[in-house]
Amino acid sequence: MSTPNILLTRIDNRLIHGQVGVTWTNSLGANLVVVANDEAANDLVQQSLMDMVMSDGVQTRYFTLQKTIDVIYKAAERQKIFIVCKTPHDVLELVKGNVPINFVNIGNMHFSEGKRQIHKTVAVDKDDIEAFIELKKRGIPCEIRRVPDESGEDITNLLNDRSEYVY
């Protein structure tokens, strides 16, 4: 069984939108975007909307977290995979399921009730923080970077710098 060619794993609560479907996909040279999200895997309307913003020649798959874990090692070598998840918990589930993720890009984690803003595009709650800390313990860097030509910022620096945000 060969290791799947995962170019990048991104957390973005919007999943696929213009930035992901065009900018990131083209920058990475990805030819397959795997949306690993239980809700999106079962929402055909959301899938067709996301497919509309994809670059030509790039395939999409909408899998539950468990299906992603079950099929990732069946990927062909020619598949250059870009995984998109909604939350850090989703990424952690994939990692626990032995999906070979070695780096996480964080795009958007919108503010909502119970979350605190730690960056222009990232708001976290206690569970998010715990998931990021667990990913770091597993040796997986998590970097906030909205677009490819922007410099990234290690999220753990933001979690550490803002002790008032740690519960």
Q: Which domain holds residue 16?
A: 6-161
In a domain, 1, yes or no: no
pLDDT of residue 130: 95
- What CATH number should be reported for the domain holding residue 114? 3.40.35.10
In a domain, 39, yes or no: yes
The first and second tokens of residue 47, run together, are 């899938």
pLDDT of residue 165: 44
In a domain, 142, yes or no: yes
In a domain, 125, yes or no: yes
89 is catalytic: no
Give the whole-angstrom CA distance, residue 150 versus residue 78.
Answer: 28
Give the whole-angstrom CA distance, residue 70 versus residue 81.
Answer: 15
pLDDT of residue 1: 65
pTM, two decimals, is 0.93
In a domain, 167, yes or no: no
Contact predicate 68/94, CB 8 Å = yes
Per-residue pLDDT of the chain (167 residues; tens, 9 = 90+): 689 999 999 999 999 998 889 999 999 999 999 999 999 999 999 999 999 999 889 999 999 999 999 999 999 999 999 999 999 999 999 999 999 999 999 999 999 999 999 999 999 999 999 999 999 999 999 999 999 999 999 998 898 654 444 44
The first and second tokens of residue 75, run together, are 């990927």
The beta-carbon contacts of 43-52 under 8 Å, at least 24 apart in sequence, are 46/15, 50/15, 50/16, 50/17, 50/21, 51/16
Strand, helix or coil for residue 119 = strand
- Which one from 17, 89, 110, 119 is the annotated catalytic residue? 17
The answer for residues whose C-beta is within 8 angstroms of residue 26's C-beta and 6 or more apart is: 55
Cα end-to-end distance, the chain, whole Å: 42
* Domains in the chain, number: 1
